[in-house]
Structure 1
Amino acid sequence: MKKIITIAILFFSILSYSQQMSLEKGKFYLGGNRIDSREARNLFATNVKAAALYKQAKSKEALGGFLLGLGIGLTVGDLAIGLFSDKDYPSALTYAGLGSIAVSVPILSGRKKRYKEAIEIYNSEHKELKLGATNNSIELNAVSNQNGFGLQLKF
């Protein structure tokens, strides 16, 4: 009986202590400890909407990073061609690179908003002790029947 009560108290103390997630300088922190993106993805998987926002943010990050790298590469490559050959420097490659950089800026700026929305959903879900996308409730009741007294755990 003591073991059951101890386990029940331990179980509810773990549930009541939910750590808040935060985003600082592009890195995820859970309760002050840095977590990598794989762990964050697994934590966001408990809620469908948070997982979708996280996936959108990662897609924006990948696409924006590709466009930014492509733009920088085209611009620097055209600069190198212009410096070491007799061709005119601002050619179509430079303008294409600058256009790619200009397109990547709004794409990259939208990812932080999506990350923050996913974190807000995660924090609000765990503040209210709703675990998982199904939001099951957990109850611990004292019961008595013909066999005696006991504890009933419903989840």
Structure 2
Amino acid sequence: MKKIITIAMLFLFLFSYSQQMSLEKGKFYLGGNRIDSREARNLFATNVKAAALYKQAQSKEALGGFLLGLGIGLTVGDLAIGLFSDKEYPSALTYAGLGSIAVSVPILSGRRKRYNEAIEIYNSEHKELKLGANNNTFELNAVSNQNGFGLQLKF
């Protein structure tokens, strides 16, 4: 009986341990190991709000990146046209490109906040099990019913 209880407790502690997710330099890390965005999306899928925030951040990143690229392309293209032809350089393309770059900055700046909110939700649901004197959440009870006696472990 001792062996069964010891093995059961060992498996309980192994399965109850979860690692915290973090975002460093635009990359997701789970317990110190880098994970790709597909794995992060699958982890966020356990909570509807976290998944929605992650999806919003991805949408902001895609739209902001597109506008930034479009703005840079228009500005550089107009510069090349101005350098290699007789047209006057600052034309409407340059102003449209600069406007696109200006619009992309606030769009891209809001994505990190959404990622961090999704990570906070994920981490709050998957807190590490801390063993020690400060943890009062473990309860070991002897229970009985019409089928017999047993041990109940609550955490």
Change (3 A) 1:32 1:85: same
Gaps of 5+ in 2: none
Change (3 A) 1:131 1:13: closer
Provide the residue aligned with 2:51 in structure 1.
51
1:105 aligns with 2:105: yes
Q: Deviations over 1:57-84 (max 9, x none)?
A: 0000000000000000000111111111
- Shifted more, 12-21 versus 91-100: the winner is 12-21
The two structures have a TM-score, normalised by structure 1, of 0.82
Runs of 4+ in 1 over 2 A off after TM superposition: 1-8, 128-155
The two structures have a TM-score, normalised by structure 2, of 0.82
Change (3 A) 1:63 1:132: farther
Indicate if the aligned counterparts of 1:64 and 1:104 stay in contact, CA closer than 8 A. Answer: yes
Indicate if the aligned counterparts of 2:142 and 2:149 stay in contact, CA closer than 8 A. Answer: yes
Q: Deviations over 1:97-147 (max 9, x none)?
A: 000000000000000000000111111111177999999999987555676
Q: Deviations over 1:29-52 (max 9, x none)?
A: 111111100111111111111111
Aligned sequence identity (%): 92
Change (3 A) 1:132 1:108: farther
Change (3 A) 1:58 1:126: same
Gaps of 5+ in 1: none
The number of equivalent residue pairs is: 155
Per the alignment, in what secondary structure is the counterpart of residue 114 of structure 2? helix
> CA–CA distance in 1 between the matches of 2:133 and 2:49?
9
